[in-house]
């Protein structure tokens, strides 16, 4: 992380664009978002003969719940990644590796979500799930912090207020996921509820955007 | 959906391009289109020894039918999505989320199609299939309605006639899929037939394009 | 295929770019090329205990052969598709659908290849394999024929000689695959050999490029 | 590899861009990086009933180790490929085929990694793993050697020193992997250790970048 000297060097490799990071990330997100559909199989004739089509479809309910939750959470992190690249317009080897780390944790989300939606009453699955999302959030923060450090990878000037808002917004999620782990030692049901509410915070337009709108109205 | 004020605000995040929505959507479509090929396995030696290669291949017929139907339906919705982005040239957080919702329903199409092609004589599978496609069509309509609302995300001027034609064309499919559900309470065979005919309407060049050609000939 | 009038119409949808066709096709090719790796599983402890690691790995030989052949054939058709888009710079709804049809047949190649490499001594698997590749080649020809028809989708002037060479080159493969079917009624081994040689023709630089080089030397 | 004459020919196909090679490669890398997640299944109720959730999750440890190692190694080769395309700005048929070969070996990495992390004490799995990575490295070298040969595919002038450094860096990995095979005949544990250390060399910023930084400081 110390390979960006302030004075240009004649032999230094020129700065890379971000196009391929974004293509790779979009590919990984596309696969990981649809991963849980691979498990959703049409009931076999034997299953249907045994319990009827209605029951056989009902048995897929946990799959569908995991799929929807996982899709939404991945949506939140895809949007977050996408928005950062509005500002980030250059890349270097460190940024490539932060992205690879980000995708490594992102690709585990369907597993963690499936675990939680099946074993939500078990504290261990809650801890695994929340640790996964803390890792995703922490790497997303690292991504922003590295890219904006002395602005060397930015394509637009970054307002200090926007920077603070972005940082606060990124850090909110891992803080809440950490809180959910703590809460789980008091009440697992309350921790589950908190875990359901966190992504909704990020989907609703109210939170982040309203700050700008509020400011504007004055 | 109310986060686009008419007056520009100094702190507001600048408008995003649509490049990554399109890359993500193309990735999801590529995976979902080929999803049913993952189930098409080369017959094992045991199967071939038991019934012969010919019979073992014939047993894959429902897989092949599901594959072809699902590919065509996904083709219809990929083309529809693709065409909208001819006009849509900017994005915002709401549009990102409408797209994520769209992909969430699109990724279920191979499942619904597989269900219908295997249990086409069961009303329940008909209802699941048609509800899935109604959801896809409704979100596609929402996508267009949101993007064209006061033109804030468009890159080209949109003729009011084109807008009307696009809306009518998008709404036609979910209306017909809703009709298929109603018909299924009278005759399941008729509903199945209707479900087969609907995508053909969208593949044939006659329907949408002929309006323009007809107009032009005068 | 008759929706391209020669005179521009005011209401006609503007010509679309080919960017998303190419992204979708690259996505489909990426998935389909790697599809056979999904089947290549690390031997389980039980398998290794029973026959030893060496034997367990040797048992994967047919998988590896299918994988390599399928990868090369898909490479040939990706290169062919890629090269056409050097000339094709605009798209319309018919071209989108020809592409969807192309991908539908392309995605079946791992299945057909797996079938042939496992049941190469059975005429039926030879016929399925060759019909699949005839379909791929025929749609690739259709793609070129449609796009170059009165040049409405081209971005570069197309020399009549290049056009003839491209057409001959595209048609060569399905002709040889058709020949392989005929040959299989005389000798299955000879048909298998022919099927192995055909892709090599397209990988070697000699064939297509030498025409240009030869011409140039004069 | 001899189809690039120095004098332009009127009939020669024009030089192709590298956009689609990069999209295809990013797609393949995205799939192959996430491939091992497909095997990481949420423990079933039966497994949890039998051994408890904690034990059932612990049983996934080899999967997680393979996943992390494979992701990092693929990251190294994605970065290497990505960096080459900073210089390479044109493509031809030979380059397309070198890329297809590269991806064919890259897609086997999750298999080889899974093999090594499960049977690391078996020399055979060490040999398979190291041969796979030697092949990947050799093709990456071929890619660079071909593209820089008389500069016909480069978009930037290439400093002879940078060229030497890039070549040395690419060749280092296959040399070390070859060394690991030799070492395995003395001590399998030492060869395993070497195999773990090699990718770390490429992730750490010290190695390649420090040459430039060092030079600059003087």
CA-CA distances (angstroms) from residue C127 to A25, B65, B151, C131, D37? 40, 19, 54, 6, 36
Of A174-183, B38-47, B142-151, B155-164, highest mean pLDDT: A174-183
Nearby residues of D147 by Cβ (< 8 Å), 6 or more positions away: D84, D87, D88, D95, D153, D154
Task: Give the mean pLDDT of A115-137.
Answer: 95
pLDDT tens, position by position, A36-69: 999 899 999 999 999 999 999 999 998 999 999 9
User: Which chain D residue is nearest to residue C55, measuring alpha carbons?
Assistant: D124
Nearby residues of A174 by Cβ (< 8 Å), 6 or more positions away: A133, A134, A137, A138, A141
Partner-chain contact B128 A57, CB within 8 Å: yes
What is the C-alpha radius of gyration for chain D, rounded to an integer number of angstroms? 21
Per the CB < 8 A criterion, the answer to whether D96 and C79 are in contact is yes
B50 phi and psi angles, rounded to 5 deg? -75, -50
B185 phi and psi angles, rounded to 5 deg? -80, -15
Per the CB < 8 A criterion, the answer to whether B129 and B108 are in contact is no
Q: Is the pLDDT of residue B29 over 80?
A: yes
Is A218's Cβ below 8 Å from some Cβ in B?
no
pLDDT tens, position by position, B89-110: 888 889 999 999 999 999 999 9
The tokens describing C73, both together, are 């054939």
Question: In the prediction, which pLDDT does A8 show?
Answer: 34
Question: In the prediction, which pLDDT does A4 show?
Answer: 41
Q: Find where tokens 């109310």 sit.
A: B2
Per CB-CB distance under 8 Å, the chain D contacts of B27 are 27, 30
State how far the Cα of C180 lies from the Cα of C195, in Å rounded to an integer: 7
Work out the percent of chain C whose per-residue pLDDT is above 70. 86
Domain parsing of chain A, residue ranges:
19-217
The tokens describing B12, both together, are 């507001």
Of chain D residues 29-58, which have a CB less than 8 A from chain C?
30-32, 35, 38
- When mean pLDDT is compared across B95-109, B143-157, C134-148, C176-190, the lowest value belongs to B143-157
Is B209's Cβ below 8 Å from some Cβ in C?
yes
**Count of helix runs (H) and strand runs (E) in chain B:** 9, 0
Q: Is the pLDDT of residue C215 over 80?
A: no
Partner-chain contact C42 D111, CB within 8 Å: yes
Nearby residues of C209 by Cβ (< 8 Å), 6 or more positions away: D3, D93
Question: In the prediction, which pLDDT does C2 show?
Answer: 39
User: Which chain C residue is nearest to residue A30, measuring alpha carbons?
Assistant: C27
Q: How many CA atoms lie within 13 A of B141 on its CB side?
A: 17
Is A1's Cβ below 8 Å from some Cβ in D?
yes
Query: Where does the pLDDT of residue B159 fall: very low under 50, low under 70, confident under 90, or very high at 90 and above?
Result: confident
For residue C143, count CB atoms less than 10 angstroms from its CB and return exposed for 0-12, middle for 13-18, buried for 19 or more: buried
Question: In the prediction, which pLDDT does C15 show?
Answer: 57
Nearest to B125 among A53, A209, A215 (CB): A53
Instruction: List the Cα angle C181/C183/C186 in 5-degree steps.
Output: 125
Q: Is the pLDDT of residue B209 over 80?
A: no
Per CB-CB distance under 8 Å, the chain A contacts of B9 are 212-213, 215-216
Is C86's Cβ below 8 Å from some Cβ in B?
no
Average pLDDT, chain D: 85
């Amino acid at each position: 992380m110390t390979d960006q000297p302030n004075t240009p060097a004649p032999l230094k490799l020129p700065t890379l664009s971000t196009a391929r990071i974004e293509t790779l990330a979009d590919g990984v997100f596309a696969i990981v978002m649809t991963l849980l559909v691979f498990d959703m199989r049409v009931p076999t004739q034997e299953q249907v003969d045994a319990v009827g089509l209605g029951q056989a479809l009902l048995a897929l309910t946990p799959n569908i719940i995991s799929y929807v939750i996982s899709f939404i959470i991945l949506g939140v992190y895809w949007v977050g990644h996408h928005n950062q690249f509005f500002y980030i317009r250059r890349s270097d080897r460190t940024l490539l590796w932060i992205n690879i780390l980000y995708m490594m944790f992102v690709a585990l989300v369907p597993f963690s979500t499936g675990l939680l939606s099946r074993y939500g009453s078990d504290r261990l699955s809650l801890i695994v799930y929340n640790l996964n999302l803390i890792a995703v959030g922490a790497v997303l923060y690292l991504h922003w912090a590295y890219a904006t450090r002395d602005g060397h990878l930015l394509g637009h000037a970054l307002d200090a207020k926007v920077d603070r808002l972005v940082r606060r917004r990124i850090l909110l999620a891992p803080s809440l996921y950490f809180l959910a782990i703590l809460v789980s030692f008091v009440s697992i049901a309350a921790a589950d509820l908190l875990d359901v509410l966190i992504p909704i915070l990020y989907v609703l337009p109210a939170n982040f955007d309203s700050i700008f709108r509020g400011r504007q109205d004055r």
